[in-house]
């Protein structure tokens, strides 16, 4: 049995760097943030080291509460809109002939891999007061004066849907691709209409992919602060902006409290996802 012992020592040795790295840079650093959220502001290193719940009490102040609720609302709306565009897209894409599907997949990968700053920058140009979109609408005679498109909440919402849509399409399409379509055909043969077959067979069977997509869209949508800077004109709309502003004014404890809250929401979403039968493997799309 000495070889067994030697083997397991070897495996432990292999795992060691990952254990250490994860402990220091993920576990300790996140725990440290949570710890900071229970402290007051201090002079020297930004915190005073004394336990307090004041930061969490401050979350009820309108300046925070309003943004938190707004951020949740935008995240939910983004998820719903991404779902209603991304799932049909994923479905239709998966039902294409293999050749056409490869083409669409490749067309999807390019925007997905393009830096989101670049893509959002494109929207910034498009939406400007005398930018291409307004000029186009004016030339069509649809509007007389340029509309205020940029620096609105609508622009931020558009940017969120735009940036996160691929994260809904990919898992949806994968799920539909794995679906055994003969089951749907059987339902149709037995007299179910196309809609009934879709909602009673296709949707339940592809639910894991659909839910993974929702989680993948919802979680990051709370934190995309740069979207707000570029399309929303810097108004504070998302939790991410609150955190960024607090970091800028060196209020680390309050920034930590908001991060801890976001971590809690993230944990709750993932727990809910697991509870309804989602696997975490689905969440790492690659």
Partner 1 sequence: MKKKRIGSTLFLTLVLLFLYLPIVVVIVYSFNDNPARIPLQFTGWTTRWYEELFAGKGGYGSALVLSLQVALWSVLSSVVIGTLGAVGMVQATLRSGKGSRGDNLMESIAILPIMIPEIILGLAFMVIFDALGIKGNTIRLVLAHTTFCIPYVFLSVKSRMVSMDTALFDAARDLGATQRRILRDITLPLCAPAILSGAFLAFAMSMDDFVISFFVYGVGEGTLPLKIYSSVKTGVSLRVNALCTLMILAVFLLVAMNQYLQAVRAKKERMLQKA
Interaction residues for partner 1, span 178-217 (CB under 8 A): none
**Closest distance of CB 66 from partner 1, Å:** 19
Alpha carbon of residue 52 to chain centroid: 31
> Among 44, 110, 140, 276, which residue sits at the site for partner 1 (rule: CB under 8 A)?
110
Of 57-65, 170-178, 197-205, 222-230: span binding partner 1 (CB under 8 A): 222-230
Of 56-64, 105-113, 149-157, 174-182: span binding partner 1 (CB under 8 A): 105-113
Q: Measured between alpha carbons, how far is 101 from 77 in angstroms, rounded to an integer?
A: 29
Closest to partner 1 by CB, 23 vs 65, is 23
Residues between 260 and 279 with contacts to partner 1, criterion CB under 8 A: 262-263, 266, 270
Residues between 58 and 77 with contacts to partner 1, criterion CB under 8 A: none
| 82 near partner 1 (CB under 8 A) | no
Residues between 3 and 42 with contacts to partner 1, criterion CB under 8 A: 4, 6-8, 10-15, 17-19, 21-23, 25-30, 32-33, 36
The length of the chain in residues reads 286
Residues between 129 and 168 with contacts to partner 1, criterion CB under 8 A: 130-132, 162, 165-166
Of 76-84, 136-144, 147-155, 236-244: span binding partner 1 (CB under 8 A): 236-244
**Closest distance of CB 128 from partner 1, Å:** 6
Whether residue 253 contacts residue 37, with contact meaning beta carbons closer than 8 Å, is answered with yes
> Among 57, 107, 143, 186, which residue sits at the site for partner 1 (rule: CB under 8 A)?
107
Q: Measured between alpha carbons, how far is 25 from 19 in angstroms, rounded to an integer?
A: 10
Angle, alpha carbons 158-159-165 (nearest 5°): 90
Angle, alpha carbons 206-208-209 (nearest 5°): 70
Closest to partner 1 by CB, 10 vs 51, is 10
Q: Measured between alpha carbons, how far is 225 from 246 in angstroms, rounded to an integer?
A: 12
Give the three-state DSSP class for 240. helix
| 111 near partner 1 (CB under 8 A) | yes
**Percent of the chain as helix, strand, coil, to the nearest 5:** 75, 5, 20
Whether residue 225 contacts residue 236, with contact meaning beta carbons closer than 8 Å, is answered with no
Could you tell me which residues come within 8 angstroms of residue 104 by beta carbon, excluding any fewer than 6 positions away? 93, 96
Closest to partner 1 by CB, 113 vs 141, is 113
Q: Measured between alpha carbons, how far is 210 from 285 in angstroms, rounded to an integer?
A: 12
Closest to partner 1 by CB, 67 vs 120, is 120
| 252 near partner 1 (CB under 8 A) | yes
């Amino acid at each position: 049995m000495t070889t067994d012992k030697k083997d397991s020592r070897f495996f432990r040795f292999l795992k060691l760097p990952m254990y250490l790295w994860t402990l220091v840079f993920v576990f300790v650093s996140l725990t440290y943030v949570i710890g900071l959220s229970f402290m007051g502001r201090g002079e020297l290193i930004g915190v005073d080291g004394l336990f307090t719940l004041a930061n969490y009490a401050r979350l009820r102040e309108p300046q925070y509460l309003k943004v938190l609720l707004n951020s949740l609302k935008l995240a939910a709306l983004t998820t719903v809109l991404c779902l209603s565009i991304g799932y049909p897209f994923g479905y239709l894409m998966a039902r294409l002939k293999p050749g056409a599907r490869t083409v669409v997949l490749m067309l999807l990968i390019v925007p997905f891999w393009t830096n989101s700053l670049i893509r959002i920058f494109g929207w910034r140009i498009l939406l400007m007061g005398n930018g291409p979109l307004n000029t186009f609408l004016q030339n069509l005679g649809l509007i007389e004066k340029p509309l205020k498109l940029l620096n609105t909440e609508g622009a931020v919402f558009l940017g969120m849907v735009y940036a996160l849509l691929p994260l809904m399409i990919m898992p949806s399409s994968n799920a539909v691709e794995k679906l055994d379509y003969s089951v749907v055909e059987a339902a149709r043969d037995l007299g179910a209409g196309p809609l009934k077959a879709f909602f009673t067979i296709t949707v339940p069977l592809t639910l894991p992919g659909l839910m993974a997509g929702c989680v993948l869209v919802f979680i990051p949508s709370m934190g995309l602060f740069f979207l707000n800077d570029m399309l929303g004109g810097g108004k504070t709309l998302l939790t991410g902006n609150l955190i960024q502003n607090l970091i800028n004014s060196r209020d680390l404890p309050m920034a930590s409290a908001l991060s801890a809250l976001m971590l809690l929401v993230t944990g709750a979403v993932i727990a809910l996802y697991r509870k309804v039968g989602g696997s975490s493997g689905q969440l790492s799309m690659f």
